[in-house]
């Protein structure tokens, strides 16, 4: 058996003993759908911009049209992407455990498209909009180069969580309730650098959960993982679900 196959088998054995599972995903989950991760070199158009500067209230205040166009470009790329076999595997996994929740840092809607329903989109969704000053939900505007204006007069922005913004209380409560009661957490495709998501594995571990990490590269989490699967989301997750079906 190859190293990856042996790791998948070990992960499956561990998960078969679990009835309460959390999965958390990052940008690596969408790489095989053609969406570059934050660590990948940005496409030429945005190579001179730092996402951590653009994805902030200050960045939007400074240049609303620039930030609006950055999201419009990403939305156009994401609109052309489809969930891959790894997304489909996680949607199937939902019915394999008594309790299952998928918490994603991704804003690309691909888990929803794949059919995942017990889902927390921790950092929001690029296809949803709200106003900058009052968080009024706003219908998706026609393609425009500049941010439109809400009925209240405030500029419209993407309904995503920017750096320095607090996360939705109910999303956090749902996430930590699951983390503090789960038997296992599967961490897929994240470098584990952005909080509070970066603290999820530790929260699960402190509640006694086992940690499975799926990533083609080692991360800061790898040393604490009970099983590290050195593979991609699109390859490892379907293999894991196949073992769990058996």
* Contact residues for ligand BV8, defined by CB under 6 A: 26-28, 31-32, 37-39, 55, 105, 107, 123, 160-167, 189-191, 193-197, 215-217, 219, 232-233
Cβ distance to ligand BV8 smaller for residue 18 or 215: 215
Catalytic residue among 84, 87, 111, 123: 123
- C-beta of 245: minimal distance to ligand BV8 in Å? 21
- C-beta of 166: minimal distance to ligand BV8 in Å? 4
User: Measuring CA to CA, how many Å separate 66 from each of 41, 69, 134?
Assistant: 19, 5, 21
Cβ distance to ligand BV8 smaller for residue 26 or 210: 26
E strands of 105-242, at which residues? 119-121, 124-131, 137-138, 156-160, 184-188, 210-214, 227-229
Q: Which of 199, 227, 233, 197 is nearest to 215 (CA)?
A: 233
Cβ distance to ligand BV8 smaller for residue 20 or 36: 36
- C-beta of 12: minimal distance to ligand BV8 in Å? 18
Cβ distance to ligand BV8 smaller for residue 4 or 160: 160
- Is 25 strand, coil or helix? strand
Q: What does the alpha-carbon distance between residue 235 and residue 222 come to, in Å, rounded to a whole number? A: 19
- C-beta of 98: minimal distance to ligand BV8 in Å? 27
Q: Has 123 been annotated as catalytic?
A: yes
Q: Which of 229, 27, 241, 224 is nearest to 122 (CA)?
A: 27
Residues near 218 by Cβ (< 8 Å), separated by ≥ 6? 228, 230
Are 130 and 157 in contact, with CB atoms under 8 Å apart?
Answer: yes
Cβ distance to ligand BV8 smaller for residue 111 or 123: 123
Q: Residue for token digits 């990403």?
A: 74
Are 127 and 81 in contact, with CB atoms under 8 Å apart?
Answer: no
Residue 44, token pair as written in the block: 């030429």
- C-beta of 19: minimal distance to ligand BV8 in Å? 26
Burial of 2 per CB tally in 10 Å (0-12, 13-18, 19+): exposed
Cβ distance to ligand BV8 smaller for residue 208 or 224: 224
Residues near 240 by Cβ (< 8 Å), separated by ≥ 6? 8, 11, 12, 15, 89, 93, 214, 229
Closest-approach residue to ligand BV8 (CB): 28
Active site residues: 123
């Amino acid at each position: 058996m190859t190293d990856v196959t042996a790791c998948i088998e070990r992960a499956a054995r561990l998960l078969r003993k679990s009835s309460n599972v959390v999965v958390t995903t990052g940008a690596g989950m969408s790489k095989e759908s053609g969406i570059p991760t934050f660590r990948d070199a940005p496409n030429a158009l945005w190579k001179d911009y730092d996402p951590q500067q653009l994805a902030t209230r200050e960045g939007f205040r400074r240049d609303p049209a620039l930030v609006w166009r950055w999201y419009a470009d990403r939305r156009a790329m994401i609109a052309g992407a489809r969930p891959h076999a790894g997304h489909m595997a996680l949607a199937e996994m939902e019915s394999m455990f008594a309790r299952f929740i998928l918490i994603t840092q991704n804003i690309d809607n691909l888990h929803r498209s794949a059919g995942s329903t017990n889902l927390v989109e921790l950092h929001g969704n690029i296809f949803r909009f709200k106003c900058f000053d009052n968080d009024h939900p706003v219908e998706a505007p026609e393609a425009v180069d500049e941010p439109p204006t809400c009925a209240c007069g405030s500029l419209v922005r993407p309904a995503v969580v920017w750096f320095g913004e607090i996360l939705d209380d109910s999303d956090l409560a749902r996430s930590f309730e699951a983390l503090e009661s789960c038997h296992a957490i599967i961490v897929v495709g994240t470098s584990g650098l952005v909080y509070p998501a970066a603290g999820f594995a530790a929260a699960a571990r402190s509640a006694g959960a086992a940690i499975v990490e799926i990533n083609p590269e080692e991360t800061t989490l790898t040393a604490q993982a009970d099983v590290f699967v050195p593979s991609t989301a699109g390859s490892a997750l379907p293999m894991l679900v196949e073992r769990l079906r058996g």
